[in-house]
A and B are shown apart, each in its own frame.
Chain A
């Protein structure tokens, strides 16, 4: 059987699904249907495993699973060079010989989906950092909301550039839905009116919500995880007007092919009174505050102080006049 598989492998085209490999390797590590559906599926087995010497396969002395995955980092590098460099310099990359995760630990190469789709990445982080929720809960108010809408890398890759990505969710705000893909055109950044029109067309009767997430702006930055002590812990990194994270806003939709597509939006949509409803699922205290309310506070304060002072002054002035009249 193994000889037959090797013979088939020798003649298989590079980008085929390689059923001859799966004849032996299907199972625990490679699930044929998941691999076929993954973004790596079109590459076929040899896309990443080109170094396999068929004359010596299987090799006489095998590497351990860990040795193999460590070595496989180089295979990922051939396509993902900038990410590889960021990873090697990261806390994960530096400690990879000591058990820190390598590419395949987080991304499961034989069933890899786009990292930006779904919540799998956060779950992957928490699978190793099992005490992370409790650790954050000790100092971070609204911990669960922070962990739900802020990508781990947004704080744990402190040098990364952050942004807000708006996504279409169901009415309960729990699951992302396929957005109005066909109605979006690249070009002019979306403003409040455009978002409102999109929401109306995407889900009549308020069935669809826009939910914002704080993300890093590129995949390589997402891999530049620093040591725990260097993670951002200063609340005012985001909780202040003009914070860097809110200067870049995108709206993204997952198309029918599973690919996430990003469209630029104006940063004003996060703090405009006209998007209170359309961007109802994203609010950062202090960070996305409405200027109109600041003005109202100033006017109310001025009126609150001026009205009693004016009344008091008028009472004094008029009393003095009355007093003068009495004297005469």
Chain B
């Protein structure tokens, strides 16, 4: 049984803080938006926890950003720079999840330390990490102090636009988590991806 070191410590720390934070933000977000339907915790407590955890995740984001910006592991997102190959591999991965997997075909992607993600995964994570998550942090920050960020809110289109974008992304992330956990279970060895995010080593 071969093992490869696939998830360095900073990535694992970032991932689990992020995972726990996401759950707390989703639960408190629901408690804030649906205080009339869900009496999980008081509205005031939910707001306080939501704000605090939001800032923790904002700081945590910079662990991820710093790690990939200042190490050669950034190549896991772009093992090669040929866009045609990149999209061909993404399509191949989609065909595998949509068809090949049911026929018992092997996963066309074989992870390694510098090719951790399949192309579809890499594309999705880049959209999430470089576009959607920063927008979620930014809109959350604006909503945290409406007077302090009055000018930015007006530039964004007003508080209702900011809140609507924040809620739309909240809906996306909530649905995304289910798919994320399920796809993580589709490893060659049972629970190999989960174990890899704890120990750093993936069994192949």
A171 to B44, CA, bound (A): 32
| Closest-CB distance, A123 to chain B (whole angstroms) | 16
8 Å CB interface, A275-328 against B: 276-277, 279-283, 285-286, 289-290, 293, 296-297, 300-301, 303-305, 307-308, 311-312, 314-315, 318-319, 322
| Closest-CB distance, B180 to chain A (whole angstroms) | 10
A114 to B161, CA, bound (A): 33
Q: Is the CB of B179 within 8 A of A318?
A: no
Task: Report which of A293, A303, A322 forms a contact with B164, defined as CB distance below 8 A.
Answer: A293
Determine if A144 is an interface residue (Cβ-Cβ < 8 Å).
yes
Task: Report which of B101, B168, B176, B181 forms a contact with A315, defined as CB distance below 8 A.
Answer: B101
| Closest-CB distance, A91 to chain B (whole angstroms) | 24
Q: Is the CB of B44 within 8 A of A311?
A: no
Q: Is the CB of A297 within 8 A of B101?
A: no
A307 to B51, CA, bound (A): 31
Proximity string of chain A (166-195) to chain B, C-beta cutoff 8 Å, 1 when within and 0 when not: 000001110000000000000000000000
Determine if B57 is an interface residue (Cβ-Cβ < 8 Å).
no
Determine if A236 is an interface residue (Cβ-Cβ < 8 Å).
yes
| Closest-CB distance, B188 to chain A (whole angstroms) | 14
| Closest-CB distance, A58 to chain B (whole angstroms) | 50
Set of chain B residues within 8 Å of A311, measured between Cβ atoms: 97, 182
Task: Report which of B36, B145, B147, B171 forms a contact with A300, defined as CB distance below 8 A.
Answer: B171
Determine if A51 is an interface residue (Cβ-Cβ < 8 Å).
no
Task: Report which of B43, B161, B175 forms a contact with A235, defined as CB distance below 8 A.
Answer: B43
Q: Is the CB of A304 within 8 A of B175?
A: yes
Q: Is the CB of B32 within 8 A of A300?
A: no
Q: From DSSP, what is the main secondary structure of chain B's interface residues?
A: helix
If A235-B35, A240-B36 touch, whether A148 touches B147 (CB-CB below 8 Å) is yes
Task: Report which of A209, A307, A315 forms a contact with B102, defined as CB distance below 8 A.
Answer: A315
Set of chain B residues within 8 Å of A312, measured between Cβ atoms: 182
Chain B interface size, as a band, is 35 or more
Set of chain B residues within 8 Å of A303, measured between Cβ atoms: 175
| Closest-CB distance, A282 to chain B (whole angstroms) | 7
Q: Is the CB of B171 within 8 A of A241?
A: no
If A144-B147, A305-B178 touch, whether A300 touches B43 (CB-CB below 8 Å) is no
Q: Is the CB of A285 within 8 A of B33?
A: yes
Task: Report which of A144, A293, A300, A308 forms a contact with B182, defined as CB distance below 8 A.
Answer: A308
Q: Is the CB of A322 within 8 A of B36?
A: no
Determine if A82 is an interface residue (Cβ-Cβ < 8 Å).
no
Task: Report which of A144, A240, A301, A319 forms a contact with B35, defined as CB distance below 8 A.
Answer: A240
Determine if A142 is an interface residue (Cβ-Cβ < 8 Å).
yes
Determine if B85 is an interface residue (Cβ-Cβ < 8 Å).
no
| Closest-CB distance, B203 to chain A (whole angstroms) | 21
Q: Is the CB of B159 within 8 A of A239?
A: no
Q: Beyond A286-B32, A286-B35: 5 further Cβ-contacts under 8 Å?
A: A171-B154, A277-B161, A304-B174, A314-B102, A322-B104
Could you list which residues of chain B lie within 8 angstroms of chain A, going by C-beta atoms? 32-37, 42-44, 47-48, 51, 97, 101-104, 143-147, 150-151, 154, 157-161, 163-164, 167-168, 171-172, 174-179, 181-182
